[in-house]
Structure 1
Amino acid sequence: MTLLRAEEVTLGYGRTPVVRDVTLDITGGGVGLIGESGSGKTTLARAFLGLLTPVSGNIWYGDQNLRKADMRRFRREVQPVFQAESLDPRMRVGASIAEGLPRGARDRVPQLLERVGLAAGLAGRRPHELSGGQRQRVVIARALAVEPRLLILDEPTSALDVTVQARILDLLAGLGTERLLITHDLAVVGRLCRTAHVLFAGRVVESGPTAELLARPAHPYTLALRDAVPKLGGEPPRARGRTEARAAGTGCPFRSRCPMAVPECERAPELRDLGDERRVACHRAADLTA
């Protein structure tokens, strides 16, 4: 079942377009939005949360246009999970979690803390008295308080060290709640998401089952992201698709950075089906997947 859907959505700030003609579904098993800073991931997430209105296209919540949906119900069913710094430093942990609960349900705070692996006694502390990992768990507990169907997570582990990241990922994987994950970390997407969409310059350039997409990228940008991940004991990351160059103004937006660019890339590629739920916008996809 599709929980949220973007249909030919274009988003921008003022006259500056940031996301262009994006169509994608949020269905079961976890969905990842991958891309470097400035690719449009967070802007698209804000639209899915109802915080931005598309310049064109529509966001669908089930079979309802989000502009006409029951927003009280929507806010209960779709919850954001921001980074730990989003906690109000003046509020005690218990008060932060209880903020969205009806008065009669505020005795659930200890249960929510225990659900995310924290002691109930932490409810009386303020954020500065907790570690980074504990604060992130509080943010997750706060989102879970209204029993949502979908969590939208924006870089939930980016400020944490590796061991704490692993614990948070284990927690998220075991919650049983659907999730949309915005990240630049391919390992996190591989751990939490069945499907993934790769954004470059506000456009989806590749999408499909995460395991297949990471094992056999069909777009040079996806390959560049994967090859940029350092491997313990391995060779240094390759400089394929360097980040200094801007998106090309015409044709394929990645062509000014692409080591596989050919004259045909002066014509913008359409997002097309490759089979097995995979789509790609690249003239050279057959060469990469052969």
Structure 2
Amino acid sequence: MTMLRAERVTLGYGRRPVVHDVSLDLTEGGVGLIGESGSGKTTLARAFLGLLRPISGDIWYDGRRLREADPRRFRKDVQPVFQAEALDPRMRIGASVAEGLPRRDRHRVGELLEQVGLDPELAGRRPHQLSGGQRQRVVIARALAVGPRLLVLDEPTSALDVTVQARILDLLAGLDAERLLITHNLAVVERLCRTSYVLFAGRVVESGPTAELLARPAHPYTRALRDAVPRLGGPPPEASGRTEAVPAATGCPYRLRCPLAVAECERAPELREVADGRRAACHRAADVLG
């Protein structure tokens, strides 16, 4: 049984949908949600955390609709890991980590800090007295305090320097909990997630095993994201298509930016299997795969 699943979920704020008809399974080995800012990644994560109710469709948790799940058990099992700025600047580190612990277990604060590679003596400090990497590890320690089955990670390394990022990724990769990762950083998703979903304008445009998806994209948008990553010692990346164009209101939403767009793209493509374990919503997927 899949622990967490979205079934044809549409989400929005007020009457304006921003995520459209998304289906997603949390599979073993971690799942990544990839896409640029505004693609709907964080909105979908909010629904998985029970913070946003779908306009249509359902979120399922352990075989039951999320709205019918035991809220206390769900909050223990599924923990968010936001960026380090989520810490309350007025609270000492020990108090922040202990928030989710029963009073009888608050002696575990030092143990949790050590688990994420921090000196227990930092428990007496406030967030502004720690580095960005230390604060991010405090956020992870706080999430681990309740023994979660799933961590929902929203850009957990975006504000960190490269050496600190490496330590955080090693830490996350070594945890027992499953991972749902929201990111635009392809190196991070490749390190932490076996499966990935690529979102554009609130729609899944490609999904499949992360390594294969990034090595040989089946959608022009996935290929553009990959090719935009600078490579050490290589030429600067070139923009692919009209990067400033807004999503198309009809047909394929990516067609106004797509360098491969043809007349057929005025008809909305279905998300279909294009290779073993790979799905793409693109009329030109065969050409992209080569």
Equivalents in 2 of 1:98, 1:138: separation in Å? Answer: 11
Instruction: Give the aligned partner of residue 184 of structure 1.
Output: 184
Residue deviations 1:240-290 (CA, integer Å, cap 9, x gap): 034311000110000000000010000000000123211100000011113
Amino acid at match of 1:279: R
3-state SS of 1:50 partner: coil
What pairs up with 1:253-268 in 2 under 5 angstroms?
A: 253-268=253-268
Amino acid at match of 1:87: L
Q: Is the 8 A contact 2:242 2:256 kept in 1?
A: no
Amino acid at match of 1:82: F
Equivalents in 1 of 2:76, 2:27: separation in Å? Answer: 18
Instruction: Give the aligned partner of residue 167 of structure 2.
Output: 167
Residue deviations 1:3-48 (CA, integer Å, cap 9, x gap): 1100000000112111000001012101000000000000000000
Amino acid at match of 2:271: L
Instruction: Give the aligned partner of residue 128 of structure 2.
Output: 128
Residue deviations 1:41-62 (CA, integer Å, cap 9, x gap): 0000000000000000000001
TM-score w.r.t. structure 2 length? 0.99
Report the number of matched residues.
290
Instruction: Give the aligned partner of residue 223 of structure 1.
Output: 223
Equivalents in 2 of 1:188, 1:253: separation in Å? Answer: 26
Q: Is the 8 A contact 2:274 2:286 kept in 1?
A: no
Q: Is the 8 A contact 1:220 1:241 kept in 2?
A: no
What pairs up with 1:225-264 in 2 under 5 angstroms?
A: 225-264=225-264
Instruction: Give the aligned partner of residue 274 of structure 1.
Output: 274
Equivalents in 2 of 1:241, 1:175: separation in Å? Answer: 40
Q: Is the 8 A contact 2:89 2:128 kept in 1?
A: yes
Equivalents in 2 of 1:35, 1:267: separation in Å? Answer: 22
Residue ranges of structure 1 left out of the alignment (5+ in a row): none
Instruction: Give the aligned partner of residue 206 of structure 1.
Output: 206
Further displaced range: 240-249 or 151-160: 240-249
Structure 1's consecutive aligned runs of 4 or more residues displaced over 4 angstroms after TM superposition are: none
What pairs up with 1:134-149 in 2 under 5 angstroms?
A: 134-149=134-149
Amino acid at match of 2:26: I
Residue ranges of structure 2 left out of the alignment (5+ in a row): none
Instruction: Give the aligned partner of residue 118 of structure 2.
Output: 118
Amino acid at match of 1:15: R
Equivalents in 1 of 2:206, 2:214: separation in Å? Answer: 11
Amino acid at match of 1:109: V
Amino acid at match of 2:81: V
TM-score w.r.t. structure 1 length? 0.99
Instruction: Indicate the RMSD between aligned Cα atoms, in angstroms.
Output: 0.7
Amino acid at match of 1:262: V
Equivalents in 2 of 1:43, 1:118: separation in Å? Answer: 31
Equivalents in 1 of 2:119, 2:167: separation in Å? Answer: 15
Equivalents in 2 of 1:238, 1:3: separation in Å? Answer: 40
Equivalents in 1 of 2:249, 2:87: separation in Å? Answer: 40
Instruction: Give the aligned partner of residue 107 of structure 2.
Output: 107
Equivalents in 2 of 1:116, 1:258: separation in Å? Answer: 43
Equivalents in 2 of 1:209, 1:242: separation in Å? Answer: 28
* 1:176 Cα deviation after fit: 2.1
Amino acid at match of 2:225: L
